[in-house]
Copies of this chain bind each other. A is one copy, B any other.
Amino acid sequence: MYLSQRANCPHHRLMSESLTTPQDPSTDHPSDRQPLYRQLADQYRRAIGNGVLRPGDRMPSMRAFMQRHGVSLATATESYRELERAALIDARPRTGYFVRVPPTAGLPCAAEPDLAMLPRAAQFVGIHSAISAIVSTFQRHPHALNLGGATASPALYPTEALQKAALRALRRRPTLLTASGHDQGDPALRTIIARRALEAGIQLGAEDIIMTHGGIEAVNLALRAVTQPGDTVAVESPCFFGLLQALESLGLRALEIPTSPSTGLSIEALAFALHTQPDIKAVVVVPNLQNPLGSVMPDAHKASLVELCTHAGIALIEDDPYRELADAAQPPRSLKAWDTDGSVIHCTSFNKTLAPGMRVGWINGGRWHPRIGMLKFAQSRHNEQLSQVVLAGFLETSAYERHLRRLRENLRLQRERMAAAVAASFPDGTRFTPPRGGMFFWIELPREVSSPAFFDAALADGIRIMPGTVFSNAGRFDHFIRLSCPSTDLDLADEAVRRLGRLASRMAAHAARR
């Protein structure tokens, strides 16, 4: 039964791909003093970590490995043993070595949204009080294990390196705290960001970038630039609750568009909505590692979405803070890459990828850029300089890339462990689609388990989760929860997930008996 469901799940690729040839290890880390077998193992570990090699892929044969890297049989064998010890590959007798398929793959994927279900009428958003209630309940349990957050564990961010960068910046530029900064943000940082944006497929000059207080200020400015109170904004469903709060605070109405756990926003449903509801002023989309789904839109969908919005003459607001956390040899591109006439407003931040404590985001406003510049200046002036200078220093070297590789690998490991624990302990009827990177698990519980009750019970048991109900303004997702990778202590997280599983089983059984 599981097998057939796996085959339907678009991102489970059972077939081996041709292996990308790794670089000559002697040039990879010239200063490395590790034994050759470990250098090679590390190379393959990275290839697995960043998705060049996917679960189920066949590893090269020993002979091919020896030839490719010009090493002895002893070195090849030792490299493979190292990878086996790290639980990254499995030997299959008389067949060869394969990239390990994590137990998660045994779980049924979440259902695709029913596109026959038309978007309901747009509604004014009124969800803030529900979210506030959860937050204040959280605050009454400060010591609960947090599986409900939206950032990785602080231990996974480069605390020491950033601290040193800040100390250096303060010594070099002592007036950073006392002198005013540039209205649009630090010019050197904006130049670096413009250069880096090329990787996302985005061509910008430094003057096209305005620094903001995190990604959320960017999204707010975008909404303010293109809407008036009372207007309708199309959003994903499920939808990041912070966006729902922003819509509520601006007096906007939300139209929730079905969104696939594997391919993101349904273009067909949006097209239908634009056709039938002409008062939609903007669409807000998280194209890469959607929150909470963890989906990544395929390039073809991204192209269609941009074309659709351009044709309809409405703003496409792209919220893209997770892009660099995607598992892939090459991070996915942003919607902005397909923009031809300034219809896409690109918003992002470094809060999730680098430092939750640094409120540094940025925005390119497309054809609304001057108006957004005006709104930003009127609303909060320039950002603080120190964080921007620290960030610029960090981005200029290879430190950011190295950090990202490590963060992605750590998150992948956490997700695998968590998926295995969910698969092992949650009751029948539980479904979820493994995310394509990042830190979120969007889990569908058996229909009998209501997430607000589950939230209360979990908190009483010392664990914070996010109930699905806060991800919709239209009363959807009652039996869904969002879990986040919380901690570098994987055993602790495992144990917590198992407790959640037992709790869900009890609640499902209890409901069934009634």
Contacts and interface: CB of A to CB of B under 8 A. Distances in A.
A170 interface: yes
Interface in A346-384: 355-359, 374-375, 377-384
A358 B177 contact: yes
B249 A375 contact: yes
Interface of A: 128, 132, 135, 151, 154, 157-160, 162-163, 166-167, 170-171, 174-181, 183, 213-214, 216-217, 220, 224, 228-229, 242, 245-246, 248-249, 251, 355-359, 374-375, 377-387, 390
Contacts of A176: 163, 357
A378 B177 contact: no
B158 A378 contact: no
B378 A220 contact: yes
28 contacts: A151-B180, A154-B175, A154-B179, A157-B178, A162-B178, A163-B174, A166-B166, A166-B177, A166-B386, A167-B167, A167-B170, A167-B171, A178-B356, A181-B357, A213-B380, A213-B383, A214-B380, A216-B378, A216-B381, A224-B249, A228-B229, A242-B378, A245-B377, A245-B378, A246-B379, A357-B384, A357-B385, A359-B384
Contacts of A386: 166, 357, 386-387
A380 B178 contact: no
Nearest to A128: B374
Chain A contact residues: helix, strand, loop or mixed = helix
Given A157-B178, A355-B178, A378-B128, A387 B384 contact: yes
Given A160-B174, A170-B167, A374-B249, A379 B179 contact: no
Given A174-B160, A249-B374, A381 B180 contact: no
Nearest to A377: B245
A163 B177 contact: yes
A380 B224 CA distance: 13
Contacts of A359: 380-384
A246 B224 CA distance: 13
Nearest to A180: B356
A317 to B, nearest CB: 15
Given A228-B229, A229-B228, A245-B374, A177 B380 contact: no
* Residue among A251, A358, A384 with the highest chain B CB neighbour number at 10 A: A384
A176 B166 CA distance: 11
Given A154-B178, A166-B170, 5 more contacts: A166-B386, A213-B213, A213-B381, A216-B379, A220-B379
Contact of A217 (B132, B251, B380): B380
Contacts of A180: 151, 356-357
Contacts of A385: 357
B166 A357 contact: no
Contacts of A151: 180
A163 B382 CA distance: 20
B229 A387 contact: no
Given A170-B166, A249-B374, A380 B220 contact: yes
Contacts of A382: 359
Contact of A178 (B132, B170, B220, B357): B357
Nearest to A370: B132
Nearest to A149: B180
Contacts of A170: 163, 166-167
